[in-house]
Amino acid sequence: MLKLTKSRGDDLKVFKRLIKKNAILAVLTIILTFLSIISQFVWTIYVGKIIDSIAQREGLSVRLLLTMGVILLISVAFIYSSNLISRFTAEKMAHTLRMDFIKNLLSSDGASDEKGAFEAMSKVQNELSQSSEYLSNTLFDIFSMALSGILALFFLLFENAFLTLIILIPMIIVCIAGRFLGQKINPLVNASMNKKIVFNKTAYSLITGFDVVNVFDAKEFFKNRFEKELNEWAEVETKKERVSAVCNSLSGILSQTPLLVLFAAGAILIWKGMLSLGGLIIFLNMTGTLLITLMNLPSWAVSMKSFLIHLSRCDV
Amino acid sequence: MNKEDNKDIIIGQNITFSYKDRIILDNQSFSFKKGEHIGIIGESGSGKSTFLKLLAGLLTPSSGTLEVDSESDPAKIMKKISMVMQDAMIMPLTIRENIALGKEIKKERMDEIIKATRLDLWTDSLPEGIDTYLGERADELSGGQAQRIAIARAIAKDADIILLDEPTSSLDKDTIKDVMEALETLTDEKSVIHVTHQTDLLKGYHRILKIGGGRIYE
């Protein structure tokens, strides 16, 4: 029998099983993703070194350039192989999910016949396709971005804890503001979408149900109804666009504050000799990664939660 | 059928009609009496539904004359008939609005209709009863619920001629039984023309006609 309501622990059960069944690939993906991120960080460090050399009017040594060339090649190799392995692992996990579902279904008491299996399959068709799609297109991308953010945070703390903590404050403010502004827009987006669905449905009803409308002399009724629904949608849509424009402007301005703080604090530290120009470049490069991770964490958490729920419903 | 009233309520004379390059009726004449219950059967694609649309005034014959309750103007014919189709056409409105379709219906009359179609078994369980807004989920109603609303709509119109276009074809056996009971209330003492491929639904009908090859015959 299909279990449609589960506890949080149950939500993870299928996911854990998928990881366990593809353990080698999963571990390989994690290692390669980790190495590709580290190799990019090393590349950024060396870019900082070059800038420092230029700023100090030192020549660029052949050894430095050769080392950078090797790092670049290693980085490309890691990125390529981590992408390849993560895609393959995702597809393998999606395949395991579908095959396990069919196998378990056919061996369970409730659906031993082909018809029962087909009915159960059609019931979870949506869950299966959503889970497979998430596995194939999203899971490892999110994992890679989240890992980049976390590693960037530790790396920046190691490089210059003071500057990192200073830029973290506006970043957290930006994230909270983004969340708050999102909460202002979301109900309006939903309301606008629902109104649109309703008037589209009415328009569709008018076309497909034209005979009913004629026989029941309801042309005038539907004309008025359609106009009313269209006006209601236009009202909500205008409000949504207005609020959205305000929120986006605010969000746009706010998102620049970490950069401004970084420039201001970085300039002071360089002036005091506590940071090199190359160090500031590293910070400029990595704060972007960190900000993207911080800003997207809530939506990643929501999408992951929804994926786990879809996944748990595929369990039989 | 009311035996006292034996007049023809629908008269078609020398009607020819083609639809999508196919001849549905080729110079055919027919008449249906007031209160008569007629079943129309035929192969898939023979034009059963098209014939019903002709009778409803939704389509106009290429030649010949059609008179429905002494009216030949399609707009006036439409006022004389009520129709329940295969697709119940539930709109994103409340249940009440789906039944009334903009007409003013007194509360007592609406209550009668709701009871007659046994919609009350469902609407009584809804917090807002028949004023429940179906909204964008209008097409998620069960086939039985949707057809009951369509039948209620037809009862509300209170026309003397009822046209039924396979109203139970997409329903399961149990739901068909329920919907047929609701249909009995609608068709009682009315002239009925029922297009169907389920001949067992036509038990007790006065006549069963077959349509096909451009002809309509007993």
Q: Over 90: is that where the pLDDT of B29 sits?
A: yes
d(CA B89, CA B138): 9
Strands B63-68 and B37-41, bridge-based pairing: unpaired
- Measure in Å the smallest separation between the Cα of A236 and chain B Cα atoms: 17
Minimal Cβ distance to B101: which of A194, A198, A218:
A218
* pTM of the complete model: 0.59
Nearest CA in chain A to B56: A215
pLDDT band at A84 (very low <50, low <70, confident <90, very high): very high
A137 at interface of B, judged by CB pairs closer than 8 A = no
Minimal Cβ distance to A212: which of B89, B102, B135:
B89
DSSP state of B171: S
In a domain, A249, yes or no: yes
Question: What CATH class has B3-217?
Answer: alpha beta
The neighbour count for residue A114, using CB atoms within 10 Å, is 9
pLDDT band at A76 (very low <50, low <70, confident <90, very high): very high
d(CA B161, CA A48): 88
Cα B20 to chain centroid distance, Å, stands at 23
Query: What pLDDT is attached to residue B198?
Result: 85
Residue from A200, A211, A220, A221 whose CB has the most chain B CBs within 10 Å, to mutate: A211
Domain range summary for chain B, segments of one domain joined by +:
3-217
d(CA B118, CA A300): 48
pLDDT band at A128 (very low <50, low <70, confident <90, very high): confident
- Say if CB B89 and CB A204 are below 8 A apart: no
In a domain, A26, yes or no: yes
B148 at interface of A, judged by CB pairs closer than 8 A = no
Task: Give the range of the structural domain holding residue A30, as residue numbers without chain letter.
Answer: 10-312
Structural domains of chain A, count: 1
A215 at interface of B, judged by CB pairs closer than 8 A = yes
Identify all chain A residues contacting B92, using CB atoms and an 8 Å cutoff.
198, 201-202, 205
Vertex B108 angle, CA B102 and B114, to 5°: 70
pLDDT (tens digit, 9 = 90+) per residue, B91-143? 888 999 999 998 999 999 999 899 888 888 889 988 889 999 887 666 668 88
d(CA A311, CA A309): 5
pLDDT (tens digit, 9 = 90+) per residue, A100-113? 887 877 776 554 55
**CATH number of the domain to which A115 belongs:** 1.20.1560.10
d(CA B200, CA A140): 59
d(CA A239, CA B67): 54
In a domain, A231, yes or no: yes
Whether residues B82 and A215 touch (CB distance < 8 A) is answered with yes
In a domain, A3, yes or no: no
In a domain, A78, yes or no: yes
